[in-house]
A and B are shown apart, each in its own frame.
Chain A
């Protein structure tokens, strides 16, 4: 079933030997190896684990830096789990008020909650406690960053297509849970900044129509802030959400195993194989080593850069507040949404109040956004009508509309996140908050459209550049002058391996726009639906650029370098005719 990827070279220890189960002559195990073998035998006698382990250890993973983004997320999560355990030994999730008696002088004697006090103790009086706290927080930020960048990679390469839609949905839920987990953790120290965040969260709950005040009272155990919210956040942060996170994450990984990893297109890489390195030993060393690199890098950042200096914020108190009150970065977009919403969205209805100015940003934005993300694979499959399995990734330029949609989403997210830091932008760039807010309100509607258009054009240009590269070859930079004085740059034709990457993709064809009338000339709702789908399909596939065909290349060679070559425009819609 598996073959050597290449003729065996000089190295006799080629990886091919690992997959062809030759009865290689091995020396009799001795010493430690023998003892390990004995232990493994003991375990296998009782579990039969060797049957699957042999196969598992030979599993092939393709090598690409962007495939490590998910691993950064996974490792950051593990680092959070490890350091989180440490923090639970000293953190007391209590909102009971105590005077501070620890070693940080500017707070000595100040009344504060026990949660805040014990966080100060971890920071100043537990040896290495501040380091662990900072690793925990930096790793948490990196977890959410890596989850998001990983999702970008999966989205832009089309890795979410069949059969991986379930895993995309699981990943979407994981992403949502990661920011909820982050917000809960950020709130635990009960410092002035995070307390202001909880204060706002209470305002969000109150904006729920009809039952808002009850929801707030239920969750806070009475009026804000009460004494219940930190203990409840604590249970969520260390128990409920991590349990769900780990469960879903395990399912996520299992599905990756079942599906086998996707791979970028390239010579020898097909939709029915996976080319890469075996888990044992190469990936074991690389992935295992990468865990230590991620952990080490985060430890280094934590050693050198302060994060969340809760001692500087002071204890939570509902009366004071600090300039630049922001949530952690992953909540900025939601906070930004609240800053952009106009006040007139609060509507009095008889004697009641409907606070849409809060509810849209605080209650609707996140569910709507994550629903859209979660259903995207199904929407795209409906538009393209594509029901095949895809294991070969798209180069983002080869799916211009998808790439442009993704870029437009990022632009929208960016506008909201920038709105979340409008006061910081104002002070750092000497602008007026009011002007920034107005500009971002406009950009919220305009920027995604511009970004969509620009990205799509960029993708199409890149595709045409690919065509030109295949047709003309690589510019060598060597310029020759002919006898009659003409300058010519020597172009070197691409070798078949490089060329394949540029010509391997297929171009889909849009569904035809049918008539809205059925055979009897009656308006048919069914065909109306089909037309709507066809219109979306047109939108998705319009302007697509087909890869160079052998005939075009031959023609280009035949005509020579100076004659007009088939332009990219003329190649439009030259895709394979049947689906």
Chain B
């Protein structure tokens, strides 16, 4: 693509107008020797420096071994700039770091000061094989095919193709067929749905404080306060587990992940939506805490703006307007849980959510 001139006296050539298109590569610059190349004492000093670094590594390794046994695992130490910190961790870490670093620094220093620093040139060759080699490779493959009688034995060819094409199916089916259940309709069910059978059948479900697990009376909920709530039926779920001989906590998190609810009390005047107010009790309203975006708990309630904020992606919901989205990537409002009080004055949910809680999915 480019021409390479061979010029020696650019100025005189300029005069005659025969300068090349491009400069010439002057070749590698002359080697500049290092101190240690010509001064034996400098070389000796470099040797000592390297040896000191390797020596420090040995010392640090020994210090690590000693500290491993000698330092109390719970002891603390004040380290400037860091503050009070666990001494055991610090000593082990620093000695390990020094033991490693000193080997590395020593080796590199050795390479830099004492090993040859003349640059070496290695030629490159085009990567492409020669035409003969390519032809030879093609011929070998074709000959092999011929020798195996592949072109003539169509029955073998097609049956082999079929066998190779199908053999992985059992393996794929084994995995895909055994992965997870398909009862995705569960996504629309929560523990707030009133049980239709069993000893709790038809019973409205009390709202319980999370994590204290105590029922809530309406008068305990002051205006401007927020309660994090789980259904009473979570206890029933645990009881069932125990009765059925399962681990008590089996499936508890799965249920919590759908049933977590946030309860707030507003001055009834503050509601813009009458539905929000009517599904509540004297200004107390309950909404699903699971974000309709990707499912983080929407726990950040601002009592003056009545906004609920999700800490994961900042979707913001307005409690006074049915928890509709006022900012952020979510589209749908948080589902509201209808509440009232039972005979003892405790807040209860007389029916479950009217729509699936949590992130959107195709068939919701």
Interface residue? A447 (CB, 8 A) = no
Contacting residues of chain A (168-223) with chain B, CB-CB under 8 angstroms: 196, 199-200, 202-204, 206-214, 216-223
The count of residues in chain B whose C-beta lies closer than 8 Å to any C-beta of chain A is 114
With A6-B119, A207-B360, A555-B14 in contact, is A497–B182 under 8 Å at CB?
no
Q: How far is the CB of B159 from chain A (nearest CB, A)?
A: 32
Is the CB–CB distance between A318 and B294 below 8 Å?
A: no
Q: How far is the CB of A206 from chain B (nearest CB, A)?
A: 4
Binds B, one of A46-54, A243-251, A269-277, A395-403: A269-277
* Among B14, B25, B93, B124, contact of A554 (Cβ-Cβ < 8 Å): B14
* Among A131, A216, A218, contact of B89 (Cβ-Cβ < 8 Å): A131
Contacting residues of chain A (293-327) with chain B, CB-CB under 8 angstroms: 293-297, 299-300, 302-304, 316-325
* Among A213, A222, A281, A554, contact of B362 (Cβ-Cβ < 8 Å): A213
CA of A524 to CA of B236 in the docked complex: distance in angstroms?
75
Is the CB–CB distance between B100 and A343 below 8 Å?
A: no
Is the CB–CB distance between B295 and A357 below 8 Å?
A: no
Q: How far is the CB of B62 from chain A (nearest CB, A)?
A: 16
CA of A155 to CA of B278 in the docked complex: distance in angstroms?
61
Binds A, one of B28-36, B130-138, B161-169: B28-36
Contacting residues of chain B (2-49) with chain A, CB-CB under 8 angstroms: 2-3, 5, 7, 10-11, 13-14, 19-31, 33, 37-38
Which chain A residues border B94 with CB–CB below 8 Å? 300, 303-304
B95: nearest residue on chain A (CB-CB)? A303
Is the CB–CB distance between A299 and B360 below 8 Å?
A: no
* Among B120, B257, B311, contact of A18 (Cβ-Cβ < 8 Å): B120
Interface residue? B108 (CB, 8 A) = yes
CA of A297 to CA of B94 in the docked complex: distance in angstroms?
10
Binds A, one of B146-154, B267-275, B323-331: B323-331
CA of A291 to CA of B107 in the docked complex: distance in angstroms?
10
Which chain A residues border B179 with CB–CB below 8 Å? 218-219, 221
Q: How far is the CB of A555 from chain B (nearest CB, A)?
A: 7
Which chain B residues border A97 with CB–CB below 8 Å? 247, 249, 252-253
With A304-B93, A549-B22 in contact, is A223–B257 under 8 Å at CB?
yes
Which chain B residues border A3 with CB–CB below 8 Å? 121
Is the CB–CB distance between B120 and A223 below 8 Å?
A: no
CA of A199 to CA of B257 in the docked complex: distance in angstroms?
9
- Residues 123-159 of A, flagged 1 when their CB comes within 8 A of B and 0 if not, give 0000110110010000000000000000000000000
- Residues 322-354 of B, flagged 1 when their CB comes within 8 A of A and 0 if not, give 000101111110000000000000000000000
Which chain B residues border A319 with CB–CB below 8 Å? 210-211, 228, 230, 256, 260, 289, 297
Is the CB–CB distance between B28 and A6 below 8 Å?
A: yes
Q: How far is the CB of A160 from chain B (nearest CB, A)?
A: 15
Interface Cβ pair total, 8 Å cutoff: 404
CA of A222 to CA of B189 in the docked complex: distance in angstroms?
14
Contacting residues of chain A (261-286) with chain B, CB-CB under 8 angstroms: 267-268, 270-278, 281-282, 285-286
Is the CB–CB distance between B108 and A290 below 8 Å?
A: yes
Is the CB–CB distance between B330 and A343 below 8 Å?
A: yes
Most buried by A among B120, B182, B260: B120
Binds A, one of B110-118, B198-206, B214-222: B110-118
Is the CB–CB distance between B104 and A292 below 8 Å?
A: yes
Interface residue? B243 (CB, 8 A) = no
Most buried by B among A214, A220, A291, A302: A214
* Among B24, B103, B120, B325, contact of A289 (Cβ-Cβ < 8 Å): B103
Is the CB–CB distance between B104 and A321 below 8 Å?
A: no
Interface residue? B155 (CB, 8 A) = no
With A291-B104, A319-B230, A343-B315 in contact, is A213–B22 under 8 Å at CB?
no
CA of A7 to CA of B32 in the docked complex: distance in angstroms?
11
The 7 A-B residue pairs with the shortest CB-CB distance in the complex, in nearest-first order: A303-B93, A203-B294, A289-B107, A296-B101, A292-B104, A268-B28, A554-B14
Assuming A212-B361, A292-B100, what are 4 further A-B pairs, CB within 8 angstroms? A214-B180, A277-B119, A303-B97, A437-B314
- A residues with CB within 8 A of B: 1-7, 9-11, 13-16, 18-19, 58-60, 96-97, 111, 127-128, 130-131, 134, 163, 196, 199-200, 202-204, 206-214, 216-226, 228, 258-260, 267-268, 270-278, 281-282, 285-286, 288-297, 299-300, 302-304, 316-325, 335, 338-346, 351-355, 357-358, 361-362, 389, 391, 422-423, 433-434, 437, 496-497, 499-500, 503-504, 506, 547-551, 553-555, 557-558, 576, 578-579
